Structure 1
Amino acid sequence: MTEESIEAHVAQALEAIARAGDLDGLKEVRLAHAGDRSPLALANRAIGGLPGPEKAAAGKLVGQARGRVNQALGRRQQELEAERDERILVEEAMDLTVAPGRRPLGRRHVLTVTAERMADAMVGMGWEIAEGPQVEAEWFNFDALNFDKDHPARQMQDTFFVEPAKAGLVLRTHTSPVQARSLLERGVPLYVAVPGKTFRTDELDATHTPVFHQLEGLAIDEGLTMAHLKGTLDRLAEAMFGAGIVSRLRPAYFPFTEPSAEMDFRCFVCRGEPTATPCRTCGGTGWIEWGGCGMVHHNVLRACGVDPERYQGFAFGMGVERTAMFRHGIADMRELIEGDVRFNAQFGMEI
């Protein structure tokens, strides 16, 4: 254990400490030159075997050497930690003034919201909601509703028949079959609204789709008149398009009602007032056609076991798609079924 060998070990340690480029490298240097198996640690343990007079000089020599190495390790530790902290500030910097990214909220489909709003308006008037099957018996879809055997709607170019055709099953062309089912199941008096999906063999275009939605209403009671029908439709129109809506009934024909009418309401955009350019919503007519209605035909009442001499009723039906298009200014029905999330996003969220 000579002074030259101790100095050589210290010099090697100081050189290794200076070359350490990061904290992990410095840790390896610490183990090699200041750990329990390092040359200076082994030299320190060997002091105990020296003669008494030599122990003090050897202890002082080794102690000073180890002190120099430990001091160098401490200084290099501080330098590398400072460099690491500066690097983190640059590499992991965060701009706390930037708005955080938020997951966009989902939107319920405008048709679902519109149908529920229409149904809620009917419930608010004291009506019940009824449902029925989408694959319907031909008797409920046509016969019970006073459709003649040769009515055009019974042809395959207008109606989807479920094979085999002789099975007498169709995809319902309207929600009116539920009215007949409700009369048979619940009896009278009866006030039911029927929202649901319907099917017809229409080509998909801006104003038609083979799968669409309707809301039908049926009221059967003693003493009902067209005045009750008009009052109900006026209230529903106000719920969907705002207060002050004026409606009118135009004569029409439907197999299941007599008399029958088409229901129009005053345009909620131009209010029927002359404008410099024709109103895009009503085409300048001042009126918007919404749906069909009328007093329930006696044959329908008889088919469902109701005495037409005692009970009278009215029925109406309008398209949910048509209502949504009027409410939100949608020009093309195809937008309702394409599934583009950006389309629904513009309508917000309703519960």
Structure 2
Amino acid sequence: MSGPNKQYDPVEVAALDPAAIEQAVADALAAIGAASSLEELKAARLAHQGEKSPLALANREIGALPPSAKAEAGKRVGQARGQVGQALKVRQEELEAERDERILVEETVDLTVRVPRRRLGARHPISLVSERVEDIFVAMGWEIAEGPEVESEWLNFDALNLGADHPARQMQDTFFIDPPELGLVLRTHTSPVQVRTMLDNEPPIYVLCPGKVFRTDELDATHTPVFHQFEGLVVDEGITMAHLKGSLDAFVSRLFGDGTVTRLRPSYFPFTEPSAEIDCRCWICGGQDPNCRTCGGTGWIEMGGCGMVNRRVLTASGIDPDRYTGFAFGLGIERSLMLRHGVGDMHDIVEGDVRFSTQFGMEI
């Protein structure tokens, strides 16, 4: 910017020449009118209204004029800049209106078109079976009990009448936590939860103990090193095998359908006496089809083990075996799923393919 000069004629300053200002306005109006998009209009604004535009440079030269010339030059430049600003505003509104109309056409959404939906996940059938079993026993007035998956040897074995030389305590069946002298294992069944419940509560006790358990099995079509169980425990005065049989019949009839019953076959378990294997009447053929693939034509399907709680277990849990008796049973959730729905391979259950889970929906 040049310094003040009282002898300066504003007409002789090139940037303030009326013809130059008119030409700058004409160029600006032409560029604005030619802008066919908001991006082009932005470029025109920078070129003709920016700091380096002709009109901006002319406005700077006003300060170098003598006071007598500033008013006329300022009026001339101000009118020119106002004319350009008004043209920009009008063109901005026109282009925005055109853009909005174009968006309404190009981005129209047909609300009647079916939207393709991709299922991102599904409830695993193990969870669904577990919840179904829990609901059945809760409806019978039982409670749900849970415990830690890393358990002490005493609770996992000793309190359940599994002596130090019992085969189940050997390394080939049990995962021991290092170092072994800590006496910690990954629980091999949910029975320790039953012991914890008896230690913490006075009879009567009616609990279902669902959970994850661990065995050193190889993963194959029918076995897995990590699986799920649910075990039931009842301790009260006057409990007999009849109560056990009635509870099991009520359970299988609700899980597999009315008319389904169980039978008990003599067996042996260290923590129950007497003990029995649980068989369930085949819910597919009802025991009437010698060629049934589900039961192999026998009419019965093996479900798990049960029995009356051993007196030693009651004593270890602080319960008077002369006053109270009880029963316990245990069944595998994976086995129930495979039997009820014809799942032929354990790999399908544990590998996590969402296509396997989606076929079961939200209820089993």
Does TM-score exceed 0.5, indicating one fold? yes
Is the Cα–Cα contact under 8 Å of residues 108 and 350 in structure 1 kept in the other structure? no
Offset of residue 134 of structure 1: 0.8
The alignment partner of 1:244 has SS state of: coil
Indicate the residue corresponding to 2:235 in structure 1.
220
Indicate the residue corresponding to 1:150 in structure 2.
165
Question: Residue 342 of structure 2 is aligned with which of 313, 329, 340?
Answer: 329
Structure 1 residue 346 corresponds to structure 2 residue 359: yes
- Tell me: CA distance 1:93–1:262, structure 2 relative to 1, closer, same or farther (3 Å): same
Question: Residue 152 of structure 2 is aligned with which of 130, 137, 157?
Answer: 137
Indicate the residue corresponding to 1:301 in structure 2.
314
CA distance in 2, matches of 1:350, 1:242: 15
- Range 237-246 or range 134-143, more displaced: 237-246
Question: Residue 287 of structure 1 is aligned with which of 287, 290, 300?
Answer: 300
Question: CA-to-partner distance for each residue in 1:126-184, whole Å, 9 max, x for gaps?
Answer: 11111111111101111110112211100000000111112111110000011111111
- Report how many residues are paired: 330
Question: CA-to-partner distance for each residue in 1:221-240, whole Å, 9 max, x for gaps?
Answer: 11111110011111111221
The percentage of counterpart residues that share the same residue type is 66
For residues 84-123 of structure 1, the aligned pairs below 5 Å read: 92=106, 96=110, 98-104=113-119, 106-123=121-138
Indicate the residue corresponding to 2:46 in structure 1.
none
CA distance in 2, matches of 1:226, 1:108: 36
The alignment partner of 1:301 has SS state of: helix
Is the Cα–Cα contact under 8 Å of residues 284 and 294 in structure 2 kept in the other structure? yes
Indicate the residue corresponding to 1:159 in structure 2.
174
For residues 3-152 of structure 1, the aligned pairs below 5 Å read: 92=106, 96=110, 98-104=113-119, 106-152=121-167
Structure 1 residue 270 corresponds to structure 2 residue 285: yes
Relative to the length of structure 2, the TM-score reads 0.71
| Structure 1 stretches of 4+ moved >6 Å | 19-24, 83-90
Offset of residue 280 of structure 1: 2.4
Question: CA-to-partner distance for each residue in 1:23-66, whole Å, 9 max, x for gaps?
Answer: 99xxxxxxxxxxxxxxxxxxxxxxxxxxxxxxxxxxxxxxxxxx
CA distance in 1, matches of 2:227, 2:137: 20
Question: CA-to-partner distance for each residue in 1:187-223, whole Å, 9 max, x for gaps?
Answer: 2221111001100000001111101111011111111
For residues 231-246 of structure 1, the aligned pairs below 5 Å read: 231-246=246-261
The alignment partner of 1:144 has SS state of: helix
CA distance in 2, matches of 1:20, 1:218: 83
Is the Cα–Cα contact under 8 Å of residues 128 and 362 in structure 2 kept in the other structure? no
Relative to the length of structure 1, the TM-score reads 0.74
> Structure 1: which 5+ residue stretches go unaligned?
1-15, 25-82
CA distance in 2, matches of 1:185, 1:343: 40
> Structure 2: which 5+ residue stretches go unaligned?
1-30, 43-97
CA distance in 2, matches of 1:105, 1:325: 25
Offset of residue 102 of structure 1: 3.0
CA distance in 1, matches of 2:104, 2:199: 77
In structure 1, give the amino acid aligned to 2:124: H
Offset of residue 259 of structure 1: 0.7
